[in-house]
Structure 1
Amino acid sequence: MAESIADTLIPVTIVTGFLGAGKTTLLNRILKEDHHHRIAVIENEYGEAGIDDDLLVHSEAEQIVSMNNGCICCTIRGDLSRILTKLRIQREKGESKFDWVVIETTGLADPGPVAQTFFMDDVVAAFFRLDGVVTVVDAMNGDATLDQQPEAQAQVGFADRILVSKTDLVDEEKAKALEERLRAMNPHADMRRVNMGDCPVDVVIDIQGFNISDVLNVAPDFLTGAHKHHHSDEISSFLYESDRPFDPQRFEHYFMSLLSVYGQDLLRYKGILYLQGADREIVLQGVHMTAGTQAFGPWEGSPKSRIVFIGRNLPKEALIKGLDACLC
């Protein structure tokens, strides 16, 4: 079978989570495990002097690059592009050997701009693909952190997979309540309880969170009934569905306007579009103000639009009315 373009790109995983959630312990575990992957780790700390690099295990199979001159979510995005390009060139010359990249963000980072790098930076997008965003949540302090830190809520909203750590330090009732809250914030993310010191690499890499196949299975949890939600979290999600087609021009105009107004608060959105005149599924996927569409295969069954929105304080009813106005 011919190799696709996606198969030739270097996969990248973003690992995020608030301060103390267990990201460094997780990476140490991955670096020590005999998993036959060669992983380059890019880790970022906020401040001039880093210490996480001293805590990480070093071996010949992995390369660790530290970025300490700012938060990876803002000014350092250009540095991320340059470091990825440098690693790629070293790899092509045989000076560095790796088949996967893991980016650990600072605990204070919104991972959205990091994810955008893989769509907005043409040099990066030509050689790397984003496999997924993994968010670590501390079961012991998770509720308080989500109550007090908007960055922690954004990290949950962006997640393709949520790893709940330190469940051994809380009772089952508290652990289940936190998981229920996380599912209400981001129903599409896979969730697992993990012991960071005994965590296999396959819970972090190759989760295919940004693959078309993942988009085609839009938010299956929405179909099993509503989640209970007793917290006033800024991050929430909703599913838009319609069996009427969108007028392509009206939809494009409205969606571009939507992104210009709410783009910073739209953490993730993905789904299938039923467009008038199109004889196949159209995949929509985006992060913040960066959106893209791609034609997929012919419809199986009745055509239907299904789009998941995950964001901060989204005006759900207004967005639904706007989308409805684009229908034929």
Structure 2
Amino acid sequence: MIRTEKVPVTVLTGFLGAGKTTLLNRILTEKHGRRYAVIVNEFGEEGIDNDLVVDADEEVFEMNNGCICCTVRGDLIRILSGLIKRADQFDAIIVETTGLADPGPVIQTFFVDQDVADCTRLDAIVTVADAIHLESQLAEHHEADEQLAFADVVLLNKTDLAGAGDVEHVEARIRKSNPYAKIIRTARCDAPLDDIIGLKAFSLDRVLEFEPDFLASEHAHEHDDDVTSVSFTTDTPLDLEKFQRWFGRLLQTRGQDILRSKGILDFEGQEERYVFQGVHMLMDGSMMGAWPEDKPRNSRMVFIGRNLNSMGLKEGFDACKIK
């Protein structure tokens, strides 16, 4: 059966740690009868997000070590072109961008590359915003503002961790960047999927209203060169108590410079994988289930932030290994 209509594409964006992967997992696990092809982009050489995406029938394509709007844009076009050739095997495509991506060049891709434009249509830009950290992110990172400006839907996430007055204030700030987007307050991205997928909400005309030359030139995009990524791996099991002491002290003393931390860890004496995700001083961790039979047991950690080289991260990580 050959597909004749264009393939709908949903772009999930939002700053580091806002909850994009949580939302993606909800989309992939709820019973809705739809099949998705998923493209995940990460900042850094050591990919973890792909392993944080739940085991599902969907095929997940991972792009590492670059902003999706720049160094890996060619990879994005290549993957999309490959997917188009077998578009009868899925209902839609989901692109999850790295938290440091400006969505503008991603959106451009679906209009300026003719093959992609002929076979796909943007359904909606869904931006996940962190109710706790959004204001500081907007003050320090222009990408956070761009992610709001292009959104058709904003999931204002983690509202359960913020006061009612704070949520109202952050929502008003979102309206300054984008008065048109639908704002949905959520905890753990628990919005109904009908408010996220299949919206037919993207409007190029609206984008051209606030950026008339959007398709005529390279979308202006600057990178914050102060933000870097480091990653560590080991096949040696870790000591749980040593890790908790080191990591807790690290977040307390240097958490302001750690924009994002995440890892999949192998602790001695534990049969399950331990997964943690952090934003600044906040960290959430839990067991993720048994190790896949086709993958080795090892520990992987990724940090994204500023001044990482001065934190002694490798020394601290190495000190957690079982002797």
Superposition TM-score tier, normalisation by shorter sequence: 0.5 to 0.7
Q: How many residues align structurally?
A: 216
The answer for the alignment partner of 1:317 in structure 2 is none
**Normalization by structure 2: what TM-score?**
0.63
The answer for the alignment partner of 2:32 in structure 1 is 35
Alpha-carbon offset, residue 288 of structure 1: 5.4
Give the alignment of 1:266-305 within 5 angstroms: 268-270=207-209, 289-290=214-215
Alpha-carbon distance in structure 2 between the residues aligned to 1:57 and 1:200 = 19
Contact 1:134 1:160 in 2 (8 A): yes
Contact 1:30 1:199 in 2 (8 A): no
Kindly provide the CA deviation profile for residues 59-92 of structure 1, in whole angstroms up to 9, marking residues without a partner as x. 12x1111111421011211111110111121335
**Normalization by structure 1: what TM-score?**
0.62
Alpha-carbon distance in structure 2 between the residues aligned to 1:289 and 1:269 = 6
The answer for the alignment partner of 1:145 in structure 2 is 137
Contact 2:66 2:72 in 1 (8 A): yes
Matched, 1:52 2:49: yes
| Percentage identity across paired residues of the two chains | 49
Q: Unpaired segments of 5 or more residues in structure 2? A: 222-323
Q: Alignment RMSD, CA only?
A: 2.3
Alpha-carbon distance in structure 1 between the residues aligned to 2:53 and 2:149 = 27
The answer for the alignment partner of 1:68 in structure 2 is 64
Q: Report SS of the residue matched to 1:196.
A: coil
The answer for the alignment partner of 2:18 in structure 1 is 21
Moved over 4 A (4+): 285-288
The answer for the alignment partner of 1:264 in structure 2 is none
Q: Pick from 130, 136, 158: which aligns with 2:150? A: 158
The answer for the alignment partner of 2:263 in structure 1 is none
The answer for the alignment partner of 1:175 in structure 2 is 167
Structure-2 change in CA distance of 1:197 and 1:186 (3 Å): closer
Kindly provide the CA deviation profile for residues 113-141 of structure 1, in whole angstroms up to 9, marking residues without a partner as x. 00000100001011101112111110011
Matched, 1:210 2:202: yes
Alpha-carbon distance in structure 1 between the residues aligned to 2:192 and 2:53 = 17
Contact 2:184 2:191 in 1 (8 A): no
Kindly provide the CA deviation profile for residues 190-246 of structure 1, in whole angstroms up to 9, marking residues without a partner as x. 11112235333222212222258xx5xx7xxxxxxxxxxxxxxxxxxxxxxxxxxxx
Structure-2 change in CA distance of 1:151 and 1:67 (3 Å): same
